[in-house]
Structure 1
Amino acid sequence: MFVTIARARRLLVAALLLTATGAAADAARDTATGLSPASIAHARGLRDQALDGSLAWDMVEALTTEVGPRLAGTEAEARARDWAVQRLRAMGFENVRVEPFTIPGWERGEERAVLLAPFPQPLEITGLGGSVGTPGDGLEAELVPFESLAALRATAPGSLDGKIAYVSHAMQRTQDGSSYGFYGTLRRVGASVAAEKGAVAILIRSIGTDSHRFPHTGQMRYAEGVPRIPAAALSNPDADQIERVVRRGQPMRVHLAMSPQASSEAPSGNVIAEIVGRERPEEIVIIGGHLDSWDLGTGAIDDGAGVAITTAAAKLILDSGQRPRRTLRLILWGAEEVGLLGGYEYLRAHREQLPQHIIGTESDFGAERIWQLTAQVSPAGQAVVDIMSELLAPLGVAPGSMDKAGSGPDLVPMVEAGLPSLRLVQNGMDYFDLHHTHDDTLDKIDPVALDQNVAAYVVFAWLAADSTVNFRR
């Protein structure tokens, strides 16, 4: 009996010591991060509220219905800015404004391609953003196939004189979209590589993973001092068809006609709204998505979803009645699709305030569920990220590599200039089925998955903005 009582006392003492140690550790963490138990509980409550339903679906439905496609520099993008300003002000955000800038203008015209020989048939194409057009009546030439961009680079100068290059270079699926950078290089530089070899135009297999007869557009660039030639993408089924013809070993001729319009200047702008911080209003945490889209679909997954997700997360914080210590800045970026121009313009305009920008992230990878959290922050910042991870684990979000976070494309200029970054990684296995195509429409979005995204973003936004740590390494 005595032994049992003594053992029970030892166990009780040990339990009390363990509890005290745990409490001390929690207190130390709270002191280091500035996040009290009440603040963490508030983030948990905001998360659960988002899962019960947010305004994200209504937001993306309204944007894609009331504005539709929003090509950078066009009247449609201007209408999107007006739409956003009106809505953000009605929601009660502070300091709602547009920071305008100008960009080179480009709009799509008529586009047509036909395989003339050996087996005449139409081809589904779309011009790449920024491409020049063909002569008025189009152009006709022999089509010369290449398996990859590397093969095109390796061909001899002059070997394509008067001909049209075709490059296959089929993109592969990945959950995190990591193959896009490699395969997308063809779209960005292929025209100038082909022109250096003498080509009069280039057709590429779409940078996408679908099997639908919808070609994928996207921005391209011309190298200085190289002739500018028309550049277009074939749908993947049409690219398959071309490659079947290639295997028959007969010469191919194609007729291509494109009539885009370009201008030296067109208006764009970043739309900004804020929840001003209660203690450190000069310190800024950024979330957002890009407001522009390509002109083929309605810009639902790219990036109406990101606009809706981050706006809904900020609105949950606004409506909670509690302000974070720091200012939460929502940025709906302009002219992302044509070269991250809104991101570069923001850095130019705010470079002097860069030290006051604490951390940022962007939603720009569709509307599927988030499965991973990555961050590139200081050890002190990692303590906050660890708290985020604890709250996100029930959503199916696991910590990933902390060596290279990513942030969303519009923040790349800021990150390169020193802004700490965090990424909430969505499942992108099917993203490039829809990306930059006619198929990027509202029906592809699952409202439940959208709310899971909002839940993750509101946890990040609240904890980052209510903490006191320096996230910079």
Structure 2
Amino acid sequence: MKKIIPLVLIPTLLMNAAYATSIFNSDIENLITTLKAPTPIISDLKQLTDEIGGRLTGTQANKKSVNWALKKFHEAGVTAKKEPFTMPRAWSEKTISAKVFNRQINFSPRIVAMPFTKKTHYRGLTAIIVNLNKGTESDFEKVNTDLYLKDKWLLIETDILDDKIGINGLFQEYTNAVTIEERALAVEATGIIYMSSRPKNLLYRHLPSSGVDNKLPIVVMERESAQRTQRLINSGESLKLTAKINILGEKSYQANNVVAEITGDTFPEQIVLIGAHIDSFDLGTGALDNGANVSLVIDLARQIKKLGIVPKRTIRFVLFNGEEQGMYGSWGYTQTHIDELDNHILATIIDIGTGAISGFFINGREEIKASVDSVLHPVAELGPFSQVIDPVVGTDNYDFMMQGIANLVANQANANYASNYHAQSDTFDKVDQWQLKINSAIMGATILGIANLDEIPWQRQTAEQVVEMVEKFNIEQAMKTFGLQQGWQDNKRGIQH
């Protein structure tokens, strides 16, 4: 039997609905205003970067940062906990040194090891250096006559990575490394010496293409010394490199994400997630990548709680660990919460420093575009905004995407992200403090807006739909770049397909 609503009640119901809508709208407006005003976001970031510093997963500094973040959530009155997951292999560089030499020449360039490079004998690893230019297929073929490259250090020239080239240049560097490292293994090289792509003796490290399964010694040499070495070799000198690499760890271990939430009052079982990774590499202090956005996530939770805002859906704030070494924290999260993934409405990640947000990557999910457009209306003056359909591989949205969960990645201006990426120069002074505040308002409007939607016009994708997305956007090469393809192919990572 249909329920008949007396006509006299209809105006009252409409008024109540309008009142509820106005409350939610005012909540968003209040949150935006508060986030743009002075808050502890900058002082939090200063503590995280200046006092704790670089936060490589597995180190004491990383553990300290997890406890620091947990305390920040608790002080804000937000429910939070540490959530363990498994890192497959411990790795941190204890000491490293290098010597380039022959009978007449001897100098000691600064180098760093790429992650998961194994330690050498205490006397070091010594071999002849071969200048392989850019390390293209033809470069290998020209030099590798009679297996000449076997048991040699391969010196690889890189293009300058600056903020003009930006993130596109950064991803090209990752892409080039895939084939270089495959070829180096195939010719049984001793190891790879990458010329630093940053000038002025700046060093950095990032994940090799084989990730935790890396079998090659791979180092980055300061650009000026690598160019000196290259010039000497090109002038006819035969040079050797001795690299002494002392690494801590090899075994798997437990690390922790930080998971906080504010429970919704209408659909509490439905989850809208915002995340940033709390770990960083250890050369700088991880301000742009990704301390600034850790502080943003904490401050967003703090201000929602302080304003007494109760969203319709539960908002979950997650600080992922192990991102730099293979996005293991977000993978661990999806494994821990496998039984409630159907209830994850959206996962949103911010991970490109403090560049201005111009919209979001919607990662192949055209059906979410209209809703994202609508929740950005309250911050339209901070735009313009547009959404990009292409999927992003390389940050913590990956495992949500591969589980069929709708996901966003903030699309940010290059700003100064690329030139400081994973480098000694990634420090607090590089942060655009004003833009970080503006970005927090944009993220706040997005997350609270999605959490307060009356209806969600999308669902979790099926395995077939995820496979179709992978094929349609041809993302397997990008997966290979970050050592993720094999896990997908072996059905060990992502939705069972």
Report the TM range for the smaller structure's normalisation.
0.7 to 0.9
**1:312 Cα deviation from its structure 2 partner:** 1.3
Deviates more, 1:286-295 or 1:111-120: 111-120
For 1:368, the equivalent position in structure 2 comes to 355
Q: How far apart are 1:187 and its partner, in Å?
A: 4.8
Contact map agreement 1:205 1:233 (CA 8 A) in 2? yes
Give the distance between the partners of 2:69 and 2:88, measured in 1 at CA: 20
Residue 123 of structure 1: SS of its match in structure 2?
A: coil
* Residue pairs, 1:229-244, within 5 angstroms: 229-244=216-231
Match of 1:113 among 82, 91, 98: 98
After superposition, what is the alpha-carbon deviation per residue over 1:20-55, rounded to whole angstroms, capped at 9, x for unaligned?
A: xxxxxxx9xx99xx9935433432332232222232
Describe the SS at the equivalent of 2:90: strand
Cα pair 1:46 1:458 within 8 Å, conserved: yes
SS in 2 for 1:183: helix
Which runs of 5 or more structure 1 residues have no equivalent in the other structure?
A: 1-26
The answer to whether 1:426 aligns with 2:412 is: yes
The match for 1:170 among 154, 159, 163 is 159
User: What are the Cα deviations for residues 366-411 of structure 1, in whole angstroms up to 9, with x where unaligned?
Assistant: 123223333247666333212233333311342142x225387112
Equivalent AA in structure 2 for residue 238 of structure 1: S
Name stretches of at least 5 consecutive residues in structure 2 with no aligned partner.
1-13, 462-497
- Residue 285 (1) aligns with residue 258 (2): no
Q: Conserved in 2, the CA contact under 8 Å of 1:405 and 1:423?
A: no
Equivalents in 1 of 2:212, 2:288: separation in Å?
33
Shift in alpha-carbon separation, 1:150–1:407, aligned structure 2, 3 A = closer
Match of 2:10 in 1: none
Indicate the residue corresponding to 2:67 in structure 1: 82
1:69–1:298 contact (8 Å) kept in structure 2: yes
**2:111 counterpart of 1:125:** yes
Following the alignment from structure 2 to structure 1, what is the Cα–Cα distance between the partners of residues 314 and 58?
Answer: 29
Counterpart of 1:273 in structure 2 is: 260
The aligned residue for residue 214 of structure 1 is 202
CA distance in 2, matches of 1:346, 1:225: 22
Identify the residue that residue 255 of structure 1 maps to in structure 2. Answer: 242
Verify: 1:349 aligned to 2:339, yes or no: no
* Structure 1 contact 141–162 (Cα < 8 Å) conserved: yes
> Over residues 60-118 of structure 1, what are the superposed CA-to-partner deviations in whole Å (9 max), with x where a residue is unaligned?
11112332221112222222222221221111112434334343111202211222147
- Number of positions where the alignment pairs a residue of Structure 1 with one of Structure 2: 439
Match of 1:464 in 2: 450
Does 2:289 correspond to 1:299? no
Alignment of 1:13-52 (within 5 A): 36-52=21-37
SS of equivalent residue, structure 1 residue 60 = helix
Query: TM-score under structure 1 normalisation?
Result: 0.84
Does structure 2 retain, via aligned residues, the 8 Å contact 1:333–1:343?
Answer: yes
Residues 445 and 290 (structure 1 numbering): CA distance in 2 closer, same or farther, change over 3 Å?
A: same
User: Aligned letter for 1:212?
Assistant: K
Matched, 1:58 2:46: no
Contact 1:406–1:421 under 8 Å retained in 2: no
Task: Answer with 74-83 or 447-456: which moved more.
Answer: 74-83
Partner SS for 1:440: coil
In structure 2, relative to structure 1, the CA distance for the partners of 1:220 and 1:381 (3 Å cut) is closer
Provide the secondary structure at the position in 2 that maps to 1:98. strand
- Counterpart residue number, 2:172: 182
Structure 2 equivalent of residue 340 of structure 1: 327
Q: 2:110·2:221 contact (CA, 8 Å) conserved in 1? A: yes
TM-score under structure 2 normalisation? Answer: 0.80
Partner Cα distance (1:259, 1:370) in 2: 40
Contact 1:167/1:203 (<8 A) preserved: yes
Give the equivalent residue in structure 2 for 1:24: none
Could you tell me how far apart the structure 2 residues matched to 1:174 and 1:465 are? 37
| Correspondence for 1:150 | 136
Distance in 1, matches of 2:178 and 2:70, equals 33
Partner Cα distance (1:76, 1:293) in 2: 10
What SS does structure 1 have at the residue aligned with 2:241? strand
**Number of the residue aligned with 2:303:** 316
Say whether the 8 Å CA contact 1:51–1:455 is kept in structure 2. yes
Contact 1:176 1:426 in 2 (8 A): no
Aligned to 2:193: 203
Residue identity over aligned pairs, in percent, reads 23
Distance 1:41 1:145 in 2: 63
* Structure 1 residues 275 and 189, CA gap change in structure 2 (3 angstroms): farther
Pair 1:225–1:58, CA change in 2 (3 A): closer
- 1 CA distance for matches of 2:189 and 2:391? 39
Cα distance 1:153–1:340, how it changes in 2: closer, same or farther (>3 A)? Answer: farther
